[in-house]
Amino acid sequence: MYVEVLVETKVKSNDMTFTYYVPNIFDNDLIGKRVLVPFGKRIIEGFVINYTHKPEGYDVKSVLKVIDEERVLNDELIELGKFISDKYLCPLIYSYQVMLPKALKANAKVTSGAKKLTYVKLNEELNKAEIKVREQLAIINLLKENKEVLKSSIKSKASLKKLIEKNIVIEYTKEVYRLFDEEKDEKKIILTQAQKEVSLAIQKRFKTNKVILLHGVTGSGKTEVYIDIVKSVIKRGMTAIMLVPEISLTPQINARFKGIFKGAVAILHSALSDGERHDEFRRINRGEVKVVIGARSAIFAPLKNIGIIIIDEEHSESYKQENNPRYNTLDIAVKRSETHNCPVLLGSATPTIESYARAKKGYYELLKLDKRVNEKPLPKVMIVDMKGEIRKGNTIISGVLREEIIKTLAKNEQVMLLINRRGYANYLSCKNCGFTFKCPNCDITLTYHKTSGMMRCHYCGYATKKVNVCPSCKAEALREVGGGTEKIEEFIKNEFPSSKVLRMDADTTSKKGSHFKIINDFNSGDYNILVGTQMISKGLNFPNVTLVGVINGDSSLNVPNFRSSENTFNLLDQVTGRAGRHDKEGKAIIQTFNPEHYSIVCAAKHDYEGFFNREMFIRKRLNYPPYCFITLIKISSKDFNYGINEAKKINVYLRDNLSKTTSILGPSMASVLKVNNVYNFQIILKYKKDDKLYKELKNIIKLYEANNKVKIEIDFNPISL
């Protein structure tokens, strides 16, 4: 028997399959499995993607070993890989690699890791009539509804202790399977009329490959709608994928889904070890899982008979993969929905302009949830003009925000403060000569981190110790400019000495599990102020947060990107939506130097429609998506001159060969020219339709295939320019 094996070689060509002979000692069911093959002088791994016949005219080598017992790539994934490779012009092997968990090695070490947890349950033999204490009765009622409850989940510890002493409640421990040891949230929720209607409308589209956009304001209960839909998909014998931004894979969501779907759910979050991820992949592959929840890459979960694909917070940038293959999750979802004949459900309070435009044109079906579940109004948002505040000497927080923080703390409620930049000072600059510290590898200023006493590059990770003397003029005149989360944290601690402040940003969440810990600590009520970057804006649900303050509402506005207004609106609408999600009404304050900018004004009014109309007008005038498509050609080289020259040649080639209606902009320097000592240039293509595009882009890639002085990458529909 002969097989085609796909391997990764130095040459980044699309066609990296080679023919090998399969000795009889091996199993003859090899498609989708990995094998070890000799390749030149090396022995490498590859995927068997086809059977073939003995080639004419040359001898072939033999497969040395079959790595996998079970297929890792099923027929659908093999086809999907080809689709990705064609659509994003990337080598086929990359498509398969992006689909599979990292540790898909034949002998990945996985610990059994059984763990003991303490539970409590009612002692059925005893009469509980004599109990009169309210807290104790509440516990008894809880245990009547739930046969067993995790001991740690019961708040009133003293009452529980009494009940255990009286032998009314029994305490016991048991071993739990590692992957299901999280606390479960099994509360029963009855959908509101509005939620029911939306759910039914979606169920009507089962067995079609429609794309449905659910535009639901923050707190409108979209998650419960998803749960209802997934339940009914499972009831009909089908399976479901639900994608969320990585940041939303919080203990809150995990517990909710595990409480409902128990062992039938696989939650693929970044805190899983490679072994756990591999376990979950195999459970899915074997059909033991009905629901897969995860970030972007969960779209490749090898489920069979998919009944719905849900993409929550569909506007999130995390759905775009930023290295080869630079795929857009929605494209993959649509492709799989065609294969399985199932709908794709997009959900967001702030859909992307492109998605909303498609929904309005009727390409997508549009459904709405325009009220919060609790019938509470969306939080009242106040815009504060910081120009006036600076004159009054309030450089970091305005008078109003200070007052509101004091009031909120006095009521024993919680505050969230957004500052969309991590670190202490934005950067250090010399008062005397204006010198700033730049990364030696990248074209970017270093951010000052006070806790570690370091200046860091947020692009490549370069770090150096802070100094006190200006390296340029030798004056002792370095001052801190701008502020990040660390500075705000310090400032708030000084301003409100009685407050307990937590910080959530890339620096405090770098350790495994730390993200969850911060959320749990804040939820427990031991802290009353949470300072954070945009990490705090999405998916979190803290009942006691009644005030949200945005320290610098302009941070995402001053970015040279055609989506900067959209990103600003999204961020502000989402983060202000964190206030007042339960019984208490919420308030939010946005501090800005652009109090009249439409993205800020509309976000403050929670006016998505108004923002959309304004933004569409501007996109049309400037010819940006959705009025055209954009494709970016990235040209990078260690040699500045060589890079720019090749970029110019590509530009000339495209002008000669692409359709005349396509506009070709550039070549220009990328927004950050130098990253890690590599210079980046770009050519931007804007077009409505260009039949020659794929063919010509393929030609260019082929042309540079063997050139290792310059790297060419194509980014369709880039998230920033």
Closest distance between Zn ion and the C-beta of residue 463, in Å?
Answer: 9
Specify the stretch interacting with ligand ADP by CB under 6 A; choose among 6-14, 80-88, 212-220, 379-387: 212-220
Stretch of 183-191, 472-480, 527-535, 663-671 contacting ligand ADP, by CB under 6 A:
183-191
CA distance 485 to 490: 9
Under the criterion CB under 6 A, does residue 95 sit at the interface with ligand ADP? no
# residues contacting ligand ADP (CB under 6 A): 16
List binders of Zn ion among 71-100 (CB under 5 A): none
CA–CA distance, 177 with 162 (Å, rounded to integer)? 30
Question: In the bound complex, what is the minimum distance in angstroms from residue 458's beta carbon to Zn ion?
Answer: 8
Identity of the residue numbered 386: M
Residues 351-390 that bind ligand ADP (CB under 6 A): 373
CB of 573 to Zn ion, least distance (A): 32
Residue spans of alpha helices (H) in 67-156: 75-88, 92-99, 134-145
- Going by the DSSP 8-state scheme, the letter that residue 63 receives in this structure is P
Kindly indicate which of the ranges 214-222, 451-459, 483-491, 563-571 contains the residues binding ligand ADP, using the contact rule CB under 6 A.
214-222
Judge whether 444 and 506 are in contact, CB under 8 Å.
no
State residue 546 phi and psi, 5-degree precision: -120, -5
Rounded Cα distance between 712 and 90, Å, is: 11
**Least CB distance from residue 109 to Zn ion, whole Å?**
35
- Nearest alpha carbon to residue 345 among 261, 171, 262, 226: 226
From 192, 348, 534, 565, residue interacting with ligand ADP (rule: CB under 6 A): 192
Cβ nearer to ligand ADP, comparing 12 with 581: 581
Query: Could you tell me which residues are beta bridge partners of residue 343?
Result: none
Among ligand ADP, Zn ion, none, what binds residue 442 when CB lies within 5 to 8 Å by partner kind? Answer: Zn ion
CA distance 11 to 473: 49
Q: Considering only 168-176, 251-259, 450-458, 509-517, which stretch makes contact with Zn ion by CB under 5 A?
A: 450-458
Cis peptide before 543 (omega within 30 of 0): no
- Among 503, 538, 581, 606, which residue sits at the site for ligand ADP (rule: CB under 6 A)? 581
Q: Where are the alpha helices (DSSP H) in 623-639?
A: none
Amino acid symbol at 116 = K
According to CB under 5 A, which residues from 228 to 287 bind Zn ion? none
Residue 195 binds what, of ligand ADP, Zn ion, none (CB under 5 to 8 Å, by partner type)? ligand ADP
Q: Which does 189 bind (CB under 5 to 8 A by kind): Zn ion, ligand ADP, none?
A: ligand ADP
223 binds ligand ADP (CB under 6 A): yes
Selected from 460, 481, 664, 665, the binder of Zn ion by CB under 5 A is 460
* DSSP state string for 453-467: TEEE-TTT--EEE--
Q: How far apart are CA 218 and CA 501, in angstroms?
A: 25
- Considering only CA atoms, which of 230, 245, 365, 237 is closest in space to residue 308? 230
Pick the binder of Zn ion from 298, 384, 457, 571 (CB under 5 A).
457
Q: Rg of the chain over CA atoms, in angstroms? A: 28
User: Could you say which of ligand ADP, Zn ion, none residue 224 binds, taking C-beta under 5 to 8 angstroms by partner kind?
Assistant: ligand ADP
Specify the DSSP class assigned to residue 376: P
218 scored as a contact of ligand ADP (CB under 6 A): yes
- Is-contact 347 310, C-beta < 8 A? yes
Among 528, 534, 533, which Cα is nearest to 546's?
Answer: 528
Can you tell me whether residue 150 is helix, strand or coil?
A: strand
Identify the residue among 12, 34, 71, 222 touching ligand ADP (CB under 6 A).
222
- Cβ 541 to ligand ADP shortest distance, Å: 5
DSSP lists the bridge partners of residue 66 as 35
Residue 221 binding ligand ADP, by CB under 6 A: yes
Q: Measured from the CB atom, is 368 or 638 closer to Zn ion?
A: 638
Residue 223 or 328: the one with the smaller Cβ distance to ligand ADP is: 223
Please select the residue that binds ligand ADP; options are 191, 665, 673, 721, rule is CB under 6 A: 191
Picked from Zn ion, ligand ADP, none, the partner binding residue 320 (CB below 5 to 8 A depending on kind) is none
Q: Which of 2, 83, 206, 459 binds Zn ion (CB under 5 A)?
A: 459
Residues 122-161 that bind ligand ADP (CB under 6 A): none
680 binds, among ligand ADP, Zn ion, none (CB under 5 to 8 A by kind): none
Angle between helices 134-145 and 157-165 (to 10 degrees): 80
Nearer to Zn ion, 462 or 569 (CB): 462
What single letter denotes the amino acid at residue 668?
Answer: S
- Based on the shown chain and the rule CB under 5 A, indicate whether residue 439 belongs to the binding site for Zn ion: yes
* Structure-token pair, residue 533: 């970057």
In the chain, the amino acid numbered 418 is: L
454-456/447-449 β-pairing: antiparallel
Instruction: Report the candidate in 280, 339, 346 with the shortest Cα–Cα distance to residue 309.
Output: 346
**Helix extents (H) in 124-270:** 134-145, 157-165, 193-203, 222-235, 251-261
Residue 455 binds to Zn ion (criterion: CB under 5 A):
no
Q: Does 462 bind Zn ion (CB under 5 A)?
A: yes
Query: Of 17, 85, 159, 220, which lies in the binding site for ligand ADP, with binding defined by CB under 6 A?
Result: 220
Residue 286 CB coordination number (10 Å): 10
610-629 residues in contact with ligand ADP (CB under 6 A) are none
- Contact pick of 135, 224, 490, 705 for ligand ADP (by CB under 6 A): 224
Residue 460 touches which member of Zn ion, ligand ADP, none, C-beta under 5-8 Å by kind = Zn ion
Task: Identify what 176 binds: ligand ADP, Zn ion, none; CB under 5 to 8 Å per kind.
Answer: none
Q: Is 195 an interacting residue with respect to ligand ADP (CB under 6 A)?
A: yes
Kind of pairing between the strands at 427-430 and 414-418: unpaired
One-letter amino acid at 459 equals Y
Nearer to ligand ADP, 221 or 549 (CB): 221
Question: What's the one-letter identity of residue 256?
Answer: R
* Selected range binding Zn ion among 28-36, 195-203, 439-447, 503-511, rule: CB under 5 A: 439-447
8 A C-beta contact, residue 314 and residue 352: yes
Residues engaged in binding Zn ion (CB under 5 A): 439, 441-442, 457, 459-460, 462
Residues engaged in binding ligand ADP (CB under 6 A): 189-192, 195, 216, 218-224, 373, 541, 581
